[in-house]
Amino acid sequence: MTKQKIKAVILAVFFSTLISSCTRTDYVTVNSQYPGDVELWKHTFSKNDPFIIPDKMPSAMVLPHHDICTFQQNSFYNAVSSKGQPSVVVLVSPDHFESGKKEIVAPKPNVRFLTTEKDVPIEHKILRKLEQSDLAQAVDFEDEAWIQEHGVFIHMPFIHHYFPKAKVIPLILKPLANDSEFESFKKLAEFLDRELPPDALFVASVDFSHYQIPEITELHDQVSLNTLANFESPRDIEIDSPESIYTLMEYCRLRNATTPVLINRTCTHDFIPEEFVESTSHQYWTFYTEDAKTQIEEYFKTVEQSGQRYQTGDYSDKNFTLVIGGSGDTGAGFRTKWEWDRYRTSTDIGEQNLYYLAGKEARFLMGFDAYIFDPEPGTVHTHSAHGTTLRVTSLDADQINETNKIPLPDSKSGPQIEILVLNYSDGNYSRLQEMVDDATKKYDIIVNRDTRGIVGAKAFIGGVENIQEIIDNLKDDGVKICGFALIASQEPDTVDLGILKAADGQKAEGNILVVNWKDGIPYKHTFEYKSDNEIPPAIHQAGFPY
């Protein structure tokens, strides 16, 4: 074969390969919300004014993928786009349908994300580096997994419209991750910090409290808000992707973007104001480097005149939320988190007894700072979160008398929240009433409970003398979100908790008490239950129990 013929063959193969690659037919197409409806998306982009945000480009942001708040998503992206144009956007979402085989899922090169304006360009160069990094064993490259992943495709039209020159790195993270998988997320943050340009934007697509009536939604959101604001571990808060928030936090630490600003809050109840609507909540955050201090201060002066549900910048309220149960031996004791017994295989007696009470995916009980059910007499439990410390002292009431009196905490040096649990074996609360009355001056809450589950428990909550003054000075909308306000009292209050785990032949009936300390005020709410047996049923919420 002559040199000319060899050259001709090589050129023919080259152009054949080029044409083949340009006309490949193995694409997996991922459509956005309302595919092909050009006019609807034009209307969406022009519908709402941008949110008011600090006059600086954030390093990262959190916003929902819930389609009920499309216009709020638009307002957020619109606002951020006016502060800067990133060259790369990282979009991290929960793997809702657990489509991936590993803890991190990335798109294959044949995945196309479509919008009504244009295909979204993917940053494959950095994804190839991810595939070749020490994280490779934790990354699964998929194509079909993206078709139904609304945590990603919901955002693509906004990202492409408001950041038209940006390339996108979409990633979905395994839910209910374990310790070793969280280590992979930490390494992912380190990889992104190392490989991304300085102008990159990290977007966490996360919905907050799920499947609850508005009262519980607000309680969960208070804990989540304080966790993000104080850069605490998000692993136990009630959101659909602690993994995404954890990765964002680790990334922000590496980039010194540890100044968060809550821009707005919404929930389903805002759009469907019904008492028992199944509510999902949403928080909109931006994260800045320390040099944004002046812009953030100016932002707070401006946003105060708007309708946004922002949060004051110092997060000084440091609220702490806890759950208190009634009489009986549940085996749940004192806890600082509640996990979902997904396949009902747990050997934990407390989780077995309170399985129904925990609600759908255990989300009624998830996301609180502490749980007081039946702490062992003679124990003291402490727990700190959001700059607040709780101390729970549990005593055997049978051993208390005129000689061995109820110990009183030192209010000057003690924790900020003091709770006393008195455990009676006979339900005769009156025999210690005088001592209890004296102790209420030192303890924030005292619980009298019958360990047998025969006599209903009672909780005594102290009053707040200057409550009206404190409420009048509140600067944020936190006391009333999603159409609900927790109730605080100036005078001491008694709550009938009833029986949580009844003795044989008895029935569980009573109230779950939830208390949220905010700005020094104990706000409270009770959730009633009534069972046909000794085990408590699910709290009535959004059309349940189950």
Q: Look-up: residue for tokens 């979204």?
A: 120
Cα 182 to chain centroid distance, Å, stands at: 16
Long-range contacts, 426-430 (Cβ 8 Å, 24+): 426/398, 426/450, 427/327, 427/452, 427/454, 427/455, 429/455, 429/458
- Paired with 267 in beta bridges are 281
Provide the pLDDT for residue 471.
Answer: 59
Provide the pLDDT for residue 16.
Answer: 47
Q: Considering only CA atoms, which of 147, 151, 154 is closest in space to residue 77?
A: 154
Provide the pLDDT for residue 186.
Answer: 98
Provide the pLDDT for residue 400.
Answer: 95
Give the C-alpha separation, 249 to 350, whole Å. Answer: 32
Q: How far is CA 70 from CA 41, 129, 245, 276, 510, in A?
A: 10, 34, 21, 23, 40
Provide the pLDDT for residue 479.
Answer: 42
Provide the pLDDT for residue 237.
Answer: 96
Provide the pLDDT for residue 305.
Answer: 85
Provide the pLDDT for residue 513.
Answer: 95
Provide the pLDDT for residue 313.
Answer: 61
Confirm whether pTM is higher than 0.95. Answer: no
Q: Tell the burial category of 109 from Cβ atoms under 10 Å away from its Cβ (0-12, 13-18, 19+).
A: middle
DSSP 8-class letter at 114 = B
Residues of the chain scoring pLDDT < 70: 1-25, 313-318, 411-414, 465-486, 540-546
Provide the pLDDT for residue 467.
Answer: 63
What's the chain's Rg over C-alpha atoms? 27
Three-point CA angle 407, 423, 372, nearest 5°: 90
* Strand blocks (E) in 174-251: 201-205
Q: Look-up: residue for tokens 């990094």?
A: 133
Number of DSSP helices (H) and strands (E) in the chain, helices first: 14, 23
pLDDT in tens, 350-390: 999 999 999 989 999 999 999 999 999 999 999 999 888 99
Provide the pLDDT for residue 521.
Answer: 79
